[in-house]
Structure 1
């Protein structure tokens, strides 16, 4: 299963980041949560600090492109295989940086990808 870091994790059950955490877990994908506010999502702590996690396969973004630059170096340091830019998070600058270092940028919706078996 693909260990996934959710950047922009939320404790609000109506947010897409929360729904992604729920669906990823239900489908057996281990998740890591990084957010801008303290809380818990599906029983897991949402971290505020940039933890040096290992074996991160996928990063899925739920933060506005204007907030992404502060995460560039951090996400790159995790060396994921891909970064998913969910709707509203598309960022040509970051996507280009990722492509140049062989990290695959994906413009897509994590929830849709899971539901159609393309995750």
Structure 2
């Protein structure tokens, strides 16, 4: 089953966790779409700078601190993903409550760890 994933806070910098996550997701054959303030590309994934209406997003994985997330709350909720992953450093109890109220699951978990243990 393909768990199409939207990476928010994507980076072309190979030292950033979002970059590594995109590569690992692609290695696992998972469709990836990405968003950031700066456009770019990570392997075959284009980093978009506009909030596009991506279809069939299973998972949104966040690489933005809680203080940088508010402008994306409604966008993420409107995508109706099955879950949102709060990677370490992105935890946000306020947004978690919003997701819960919208029947969207969330996890405080590292995308890279989930992939490495086969629990993605």
Please give the range of the TM-score, normalised by the shorter of the 2 chains.
over 0.9
Structure 1 residue 51, shift from structure 2 partner: 0.2
For residues 84-103 of structure 1, the aligned pairs below 5 Å read: 84-103=85-104
Match of 1:75 in 2: 76
Scaled by the length of structure 1, the TM-score of the pair is 0.98
- Report what 2:5 is aligned to: 4
Q: CA deviation at 1:45?
A: 1.4
Deviation at 1:43, TM superposition (A): 2.9
Please state if 1:115 is matched with 2:84.
no
Residue 26 (structure 1) shift: 0.2
Give runs of ≥4 in structure 1 deviating > 4 Å: none
Q: Where in structure 2 are there 5+ consecutive unaligned residues?
A: none
Q: Which residue does 2:105 correspond to in 1?
A: 104
The equivalent of 2:39 in structure 1 is 38
1:61-72 matches, within 5 Å, as: 61-72=62-73
Q: Distance in 1 between matches of 2:100 and 2:82?
A: 11
TM-score by structure 2 length?
0.97
Q: Does 1:16 align with 2:17?
A: yes
How many Å apart are 1:36 and its aligned residue? 1.4
Q: CA deviation at 1:112?
A: 0.0
Alignment gaps of 5+ in structure 1: none
Work out the number of aligned pairs and report it.
119
